[in-house]
């Protein structure tokens, strides 16, 4: 920078210093670290601090403790380039008194050093108001005008300073460039001379180095010869010393290895003891898992047996029920005096068959062969709908308590089966509380980990609904818990229970892809916990199908049933109702009969499980030639015609065995008239 430029800068700085010194405002400079860097006479008068006592101290010396965080925020905003409007705040004087001031804050940047600092200009509010006689708004306007004037002066000085600095720097850049050019010219000639001198020096050095290396090679050879002679004697001594050291090392190693062998043997003994304990734990765990597996296999075998027995039994019951109904109708038409006793006997036959029918449904539920129609359910709705029936079931001496969670997740289940589970668990609880007690039912949304085992069966992970049924009854022993879900197992006296209540619950839970667990001890009551997986499907309202009776108009019905007695009774039911009937003993006979029959066949009524062809296969073959024929399946063991996951297909019409004459005629009428798809 030239002398002229320096003098101009000095003049500008002098002008600025004069403005600051003569200002009536207390002007305080604050650097980026929050330290006071300048202090004008007005600041001495307002705050009482001499400049030498306050400059270099933190601005917090002027700020009450409760205002320091706010004042620090203002400082950061101004340093970041933000414009801050004038504001009132409290300052602390040297004597400890407080003063209310109006503060204007500005950012000042030195173009030469690019250093920035914050400058505050402040007036005492109360004295300014008293001296001027202005109201607060007028005073504020006056303060703003003064600040604007001062800012204008400062800005104008800064602009002049910046313009002069720019001109001066441009001149300096030209002078620097010329100096660099002259230096470059001088450096070119000097470097050429230096390269010649360097090359000469290198040549002289190389000659000297060759001579020196030759002399060094001679000295090295002589030293090597002397070293070789000395080494022979030294090596002999060292070999003796090394041998002695090896011998001593070998002795120590022998002792240490003996100690290590003892330590290793002790560690092996401890490891073996630990392994024996681990093996014992593993054997115990294996035995428990084996017992659980055997229990699961036993339940599966029992389920298969129950399903097969129920299937054959249903056929017999259908025959018994319907022939008893025929006899009852004929007896009712005769003289009352002649047939009254026989009518009572037939009634007993019918009631016994109906009880046997209920028993087979329980067997099928346990065997997971029951026909189900699952839909999206809110389990809370099912529990609420059952409360009245459950109260009648458990009696007046047992209190029913329901705690149902809000916003319960939906599940996919058969509502009738869930109702049966609740009734069976309520009956079991009632029998365990002979002296009265409380039956509690609660629901909750839960998320479980995959692999959680309940009664030997793993639970799939994810969201579930927990349905919990608890009683305050007598509880169960471990021996009873081990067999509680087996069919026909009961702790009740002979003739007071079938032993199928909890086995039915087990089958329904399994068919719903849920799990059930029991917690019980003698004297503490019993809790059944059922985890039902949540469904993502959207519920669709299901309307009950109204009863509908079809008036036969000469339709032809083809009945396919391998059990002769059941085939004959079904034929008789349809003939008595006004239908024309064709019968076949199995699938091949039915196909041959259809091929030979040239008139219409309106309805196919077929058993599901038959030796040569399943009923579903018979229906598919007949529909190849007669696509308009309606189909009604008969079975109490309907799995072969069910859709995936044990659910009844939407296009399948099924009547469960054993059926009454009225039930099968009504179902056939609904199918024939298009009330049901088929």
pLDDT, tens only, 588-631: 999 999 999 999 999 999 998 888 898 889 999 999 999 999 99
> 193-228, pLDDT tens digit by residue?
777 776 777 777 777 777 777 777 777 677 777 777
- Mention every residue, 6+ apart, whose C-beta is less than 8 A from residue 91: 46, 47, 62, 63, 98, 99, 101, 122
Give a yes or no: residue 44 inside a domain: yes
Banded pLDDT at 252 (limits 50, 70, 90): confident
Which pLDDT tens digit goes with each residue over 358-392? 556 555 554 445 556 688 999 999 999 989 888 98
643 and 569 in a common domain: yes
Q: From 370, 389, 404, give the residue that closes a domain.
A: 370
Tell me the three state secondary structure of residue 115. Answer: strand
Compare 566 and 461 and report the one with higher pLDDT.
566
Domain boundary, last residue among 501, 533, 565: 533
355 and 248 share one domain: yes
Least confident of 300-314, 443-457, 468-482, 642-656: 300-314
Q: What is the CATH number of the domain that holds 112?
A: 3.30.450.20
User: Is residue 606 within a helix (H) or strand (E), and if so which, with residue range?
Assistant: strand 603-607
The two three-digit tokens of residue 337, written as one number: 């005096």
- Residue 249 CA: distances (Å) to CA of 13, 263, 264, 284: 86, 21, 22, 51
Given a cut of 70, is residue 453 above it in pLDDT? no
Q: Are 676 and 670 in contact (CB under 8 A)?
A: yes
570: in domain: yes
Closest CA to 501 of 514, 490, 515: 490
User: What span, in angstroms and rounded, lies between the C-alpha atoms of 386 and 420?
Assistant: 10
Q: Are residues 362 and 385 in the same domain?
A: no
pLDDT computed for residue 544 by the predictor: 52
Residue 466 is encoded by which pair of tokens? 């927990």
pLDDT of residue 20: 77
Reduced DSSP (H G I as helix, E B as strand, rest coil) percent helix, strand, coil of the chain, to 5: 60, 15, 25
The verdict on residue 515 lying in a domain is: yes
Q: Which of 133, 150, 177 is where one domain is finished?
A: 133
Whether 172 is in a domain gets the answer no
- In this predicted structure, the answer to whether residue 676 has a pLDDT above a threshold of 60 is no
Is there a single domain that holds both residue 405 and residue 490? yes
Task: Considering only residues 342 and 264, tell me which one the structure prediction assigns the higher pLDDT.
Answer: 264
Q: How many domains does the chain have?
A: 4
Q: Domain containing 617: what range?
A: 556-672
- Given pLDDT bands bounded at 50, 70 and 90, which one contains residue 143? very low
Clarify whether residues 362 and 376 are in a common domain: no
> Which candidate, 436, 529, 522, 514, places its Cα nearest to that of 480?
522
Torsion angle of the four alpha carbons 447, 452, 453, 457, in this order, in degrees rounded to the nearest 10: 80
Is residue 547 included in any domain, yes or no?
no
Average pLDDT over residues 482-497: 69
Give the per-residue pLDDT at 617: 92
> Could you give the percent of the chain with pLDDT greater than 90?
28
**Statement: residue 506 has pLDDT above 60:** yes
Confidence band for 319, pLDDT divided at 50, 70 and 90:
low
Tens of pLDDT, residue by residue over 111-141, are 555 667 899 999 888 643 444 444 445 545 5
- Mean pLDDT taken over the chain: 77
Q: What is the 3-state secondary structure (H, E, C) of 452-519?
A: EEECCEEECCEEEEEEEEEECCCCCCHHHHHHCCCCCCCCCCCCCCCCCHHHHHHHHHHHCCCEEEEE
**Assessment of whether the complete model's pTM goes beyond 0.75:** no
Residue 246 lies in a domain: yes
- What is the predicted pLDDT for the residue at 586? 94
Residues 496 and 571 in one domain: no
Residues with Cβ within 8 Å of 348's Cβ and at least 6 positions away in sequence, in order, are none
Please tell me the total number of residues recorded for the chain in this structure.
678
CATH assignment of the domain containing 590: 3.40.50.2300
Antiparallel, parallel or unpaired: β 411-413 and 98-110: unpaired
Instruction: Judge if 500 and 521 occupy the same domain.
Output: yes
Say if residue 326 is in the same domain as residue 427: no
Cis ω for the linkage preceding 440 (within 30 of 0): no
Select from 655, 654, 415, 678 the least CA-distant residue to 542.
415
Q: Among 215-224, 418-427, 431-440, 546-555, whose mean pLDDT is lowest?
A: 546-555
Residues 459 and 519 in one domain: yes
pLDDT digits (tens, 9 = 90+) for 11-45: 666 766 777 788 888 999 999 888 999 999 999 99
Task: Please check the confidence at residue 664 and state whether its pLDDT lies above 50.
Answer: yes
Low-confidence winner among 151-165, 193-207, 251-265 (lowest mean pLDDT): 151-165
Residue 129 burial (CB < 10 Å; 0-12/13-18/19+)? middle
Residue 156 has pLDDT above 80, yes or no: no
pLDDT band at 565 (very low <50, low <70, confident <90, very high): confident
Q: Would you state the pLDDT for residue 97?
A: 92
CA angle 409, 412, 414 (to 5 degrees): 125
Most confidently modeled range among 282-291, 305-314, 518-527, 669-678: 518-527
State the pLDDT at residue 368: 46
Asked if 366 contacts 504 with a C-beta cutoff of 8 angstroms, the reply is yes
Q: What is the pLDDT of residue 126?
A: 60
Q: How confident is the model at residue 56 (pLDDT cuts 50, 70, 90)?
A: very high
Say whether both 461 and 560 belong to one domain.
no
Same domain assignment for residues 329 and 386: no
Residue 606: predicted pLDDT:
94
Report, as an integer, the average pLDDT of 414-421: 85
400: pLDDT confidence band, cut at 50, 70 and 90? very high
Average pLDDT of 318-341?
63
Bridging pattern class, strands 630-634 and 462-471: unpaired
**Is 153 inside a domain boundary?**
no
Assign residue 503 the CATH number of its domain.
Answer: 3.30.565.10
Residue 164 belongs to a domain: no
Highest mean pLDDT out of 124-138, 441-455, 489-503, 568-582: 568-582
Within this chain, do residues 459 and 449 fall inside the same structural domain, yes or no? yes
């Amino acid at each position: 920078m030239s002398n002229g430029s320096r003098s101009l800068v000095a003049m500008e700085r002098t002008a600025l210093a004069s403005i600051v010194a003569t200002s009536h405002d207390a002007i305080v400079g604050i650097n980026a670290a929050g330290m006071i860097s300048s202090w004008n006479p007005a600041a001495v008068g307002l705050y009482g601090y001499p400049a030498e006592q306050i400059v270099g101290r933190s601005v917090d010396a002027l700020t009450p403790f409760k205002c320091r965080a706010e004042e620090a925020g203002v400082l950061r905003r101004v340093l970041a380039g933000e414009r801050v409007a004038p504001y009132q705040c409290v300052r602390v004087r040297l004597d400890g008194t407080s003063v209310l001031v109006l503060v204007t804050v500005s950012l000042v940047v030195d173009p030469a050093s690019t250093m920035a600092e914050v400058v505050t200009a402040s007036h005492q509010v109360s004295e300014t108001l008293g001296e001027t006689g202005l109201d607060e708004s007028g005073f504020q306007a006056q303060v703003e005008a003064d600040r604007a004037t001062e800012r204008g002066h400062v800005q104008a000085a800064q602009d002049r300073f910046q313009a002069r600095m720019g001109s001066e720097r441009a001149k300096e850049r030209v002078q620097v460039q010329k100096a660099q050019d002259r230096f470059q010219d001088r450096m070119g000639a000097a470097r050429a001379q230096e390269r010649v001198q360097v090359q000469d020096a290198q040549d002289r050095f190389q000659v000297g180095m060759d001579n020196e290396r030759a002399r060094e090679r001679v000295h090295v050879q002589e030293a090597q010869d002397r070293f070789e002679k000395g080494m022979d004697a030294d090596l002999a001594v060292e070999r003796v010393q090394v041998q002695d050291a090896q011998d001593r090392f070998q002795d120590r190693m022998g002792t240490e290895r003996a100690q290590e062998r003892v330590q290793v043997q002790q560690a092996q003994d401890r490891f073996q003891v630990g392994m024996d304990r681990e093996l014992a734990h593993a054997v115990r765990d294996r035995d428990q898992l084996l017992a659980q597996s055997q229990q699961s296999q036993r339940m599966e075998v029992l389920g298969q047996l129950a399903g097969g027995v129920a299937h054959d039994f249903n056929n017999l019951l259908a025959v018994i029920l319907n022939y008893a109904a025929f006899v009852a109708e004929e007896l009712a038409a005769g003289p009352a005096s002649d047939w009254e006793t026989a009518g009572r006997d037939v009634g007993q036959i019918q009631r016994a068959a109906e009880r046997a029918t209920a028993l087979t449904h329980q067997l099928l539920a346990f065997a997971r062969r029951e026909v189900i129609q699952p839909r999206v359910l809110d389990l809370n709705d099912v529990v609420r709908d059952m409360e009245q029936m459950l109260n009648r079931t458990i009696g007046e001496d047992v209190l029913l308590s329901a705690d149902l969670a809000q916003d319960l997740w939906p599940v996919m289940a058969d509502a009738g089966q869930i109702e049966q589970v609740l009734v069976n668990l309520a009956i079991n609880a009632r029998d365990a509380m002979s002296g009265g007690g409380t039956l509690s039912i609660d629901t909750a949304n839960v998320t479980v980990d995959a692999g959680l085992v309940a009664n030997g069966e793993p639970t799939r992970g994810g969201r579930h609904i927990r349905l919990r049924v608890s009683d305050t009854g007598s509880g169960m022993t471990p021996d009873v818990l081990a067999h509680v879900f087996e069919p026909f197992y009961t702790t009740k006296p002979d003739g007071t229970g079938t032993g199928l209540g909890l086995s039915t619950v087990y089958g329904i839970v399994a068919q719903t892809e849920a799990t059930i667990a029991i917690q019980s001890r003698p004297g503490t009551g019993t809790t059944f916990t059922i985890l039902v997986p949540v469904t993502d499907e959207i519920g669709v309202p299901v309307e009950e199908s109204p009863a509908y009776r079809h008036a036969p108009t000469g339709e032809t019905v083809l009945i396919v049933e391998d059990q002769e007695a059941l085939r004959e009774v079904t034929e008789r039911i349809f003939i008595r109702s006004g239908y024309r009937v064709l019968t076949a003993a199995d699938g091949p006979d039915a196909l041959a009969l259809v091929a030979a029959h040239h008139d219409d066949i309106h309805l196919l009524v077929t058993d599901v499980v038959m030796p040569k062809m399943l009923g579903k296969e018979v229906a598919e073959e007949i529909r190849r030639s007669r696509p308009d024929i309606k189909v009604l399946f008969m079975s109490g063991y309907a799995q072969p015609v069910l859709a995936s996951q044990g659910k009844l297909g939407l296009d399948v019409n099924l009547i469960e065995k054993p059926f009454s004459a009225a039930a099968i005629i009504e179902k056939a009428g609904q199918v024939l008239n298009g009330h049901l798809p088929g």
